Chains A and B, each alone.
Chain A
Amino acid sequence: DIQMTQSPSSLSASVGDRVTITCRASQSISRNLNWYQQKPGKAPELLIYAASTLENGVPSRFAGSGSGTDFTLTISGLQPEDFANYYCQQSYNIPVTFGGGTKVEIK
C-alpha cells in the first residue's frame, strides 16, 4: 500500500495568514493527489484534484502543487470558514489511501 504522510498534524494560524500543508507519498504517484476539507460533523469536500486543479466553486485562495512524492496545499489569506481538517488522498493505486489529516485551528 502507498503510505501518505501529512504534516503538520495540526497548526494554529490567524485570519489572513498564509498556511502550507504538506503531503508525502511513500512512492511516486505522479500527480494523482487530491485534497479535501472536512468541518466537524460534516462529510469531507473536494478542494483540489490532480495535484493542482481547483474543484468548481472552491475559492482561489486554495492552491495545490507538487508531483511524484511531494505535494503541498497552500491557503493564501486564511478565512474564518477555513478552520477545518484537511486530508490528502492518493488515487494512483489501489487501495486508495489518505493522509492522517491536518487540523487548522484559530490562533
Chain B
Amino acid sequence: QVYLVQSGPEVKKPGASVKVSCKASGYSLTNYGISWVRQAPGQGLEWLGWLSVSNALTYYAPKVQGRVSMTTDTSTSTAYMELRSLRSGDTAVYYCVRSLNSGSTLGDAYDVWGQGTMVTVSS
C-alpha cells in the first residue's frame, strides 16, 4: 500500500514560519514528483508548487513564490514544505500529493494524497 503521512496540526502567529512534513511509504520517493496543495476552510483547492525528487527541481505558484520552499530527505523518504512570513490568509489544510506518473512530470494528476495538515495562523 502506498501512503503519504503528514505531520500534525500547527498554530502559528503572523510572521512566523511553518514546516510540514510528508513521509512516503510503499514506494520510492525518488521515482515520483511531489506537489503541495492547500485548502482554506470551506474553500477550493489551490496548488502551491511541485518538486522533482530525483533532481530537486522545483516550481512554485506565483502567489507563494519567495515565501515557500519544498525539499526532500531521501534517507527518510520524507518531503517538506516550509512557508515563511505567515499571514491569516495562509490558514488552510495543506496536502502533499504524489504525481500519477513516475519521472519528472511537471503537470500531472495526483493519485496519492496525504491526510492533510491544518495550519492555523492567528495572533
Contact = CB atoms under 8 A, between A and B. Distances in A.
Contacts, number: 56
Contacts of B114: 43
A91 B107 contact: yes
Interface of A: 32, 34, 36, 43-46, 49-50, 55, 87, 89-101
B68 interface: no
B111 A55 contact: yes
Interface residues of B, number: 21
For the complex of A and B, the 10 pairs showing the least CB-CB separation, nearest first, are A49-B109, A91-B107, A43-B113, A34-B109, A96-B47, A98-B45, A95-B61, A101-B44, A46-B111, A100-B44
Nearest to A43: B113
B100 interface: yes
A94 B106 contact: yes
